[in-house]
């Protein structure tokens, strides 16, 4: 649980944003859900809530996008930087180090990791594919 809160605090998400939600640890990490879901009878293999932070302390892109309005540690990238990130997986960019939310024109793109100088994209492959298709459309519309 300590690791979960460290990630939340590092991202600058006020703890009160998660007030009233259930935070539960599992082998995969920490999942957030609502207390009302407990009243619904469980069946084997059902799934609930949203996986927020992995065992390693890495936040999921889905969680970051869901709570994007509350995240302080965001790195704003421009069009060229977004292109570089999606095609090479990283870009030179000075920023606070640690897990971050990458945004472009206030669109929450997903999870990144910064060592202070280099920003790395930390998103699932499928997600990168979807974002790349979107970026290509955006670039095509500019022409």
| Minimum separation from the CB atom of position 8 to another protein (A) | 14
Please report how close the Cβ of residue 56 comes to another protein at its closest, in angstroms.
Answer: 19
**What are the residues binding another protein (CB under 8 A)?**
21, 32-34, 36-37, 39-43, 45-50, 62-63, 65-69, 104-110, 127, 130-131, 133-138, 140-141
CB of 26 or CB of 141, closer to another protein? 141
Q: Which is nearer to another protein, 51 or 118 (CB)?
A: 51
Query: Least Å distance between CB 114 and another protein?
Result: 20
- Choice between 65 and 97, CB closer to another protein: 65
- In 3D, which of 59, 66, 50, 56 has the Cα closest to residue 9? 59
Phi, psi (5° rounding) for residue 136? Answer: -60, -40
String of DSSP letters for 52-100: EEETTSPBPHHHHHHTGGG-S-EEE--HHHHHHHHHHSEEE----SEEE
């Amino acid at each position: 649980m300590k690791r979960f809160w460290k990630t939340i605090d590092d991202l600058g998400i006020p703890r009160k944003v998660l007030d009233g939600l259930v935070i539960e640890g599992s082998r995969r990490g920490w999942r957030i859900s609502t207390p009302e879901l407990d009243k619904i009878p469980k069946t084997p293999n059902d799934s609930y809530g949203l996986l927020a932070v992995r065992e390693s302390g890495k936040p999921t892109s889905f969680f970051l996008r869901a709570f994007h309005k509350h995240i302080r540690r965001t790195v704003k990238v421009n069009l060229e930087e977004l292109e570089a990130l999606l095609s090479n997986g990283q870009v030179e960019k000075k920023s606070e180090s640690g897990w971050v939310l990458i945004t472009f024109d206030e669109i929450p793109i997903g999870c990144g990791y910064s060592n202070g100088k280099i920003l790395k994209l930390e998103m699932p492959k499928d997600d990168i594919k979807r974002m790349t298709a979107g970026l290509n459309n955006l670039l095509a519309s500019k022409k």
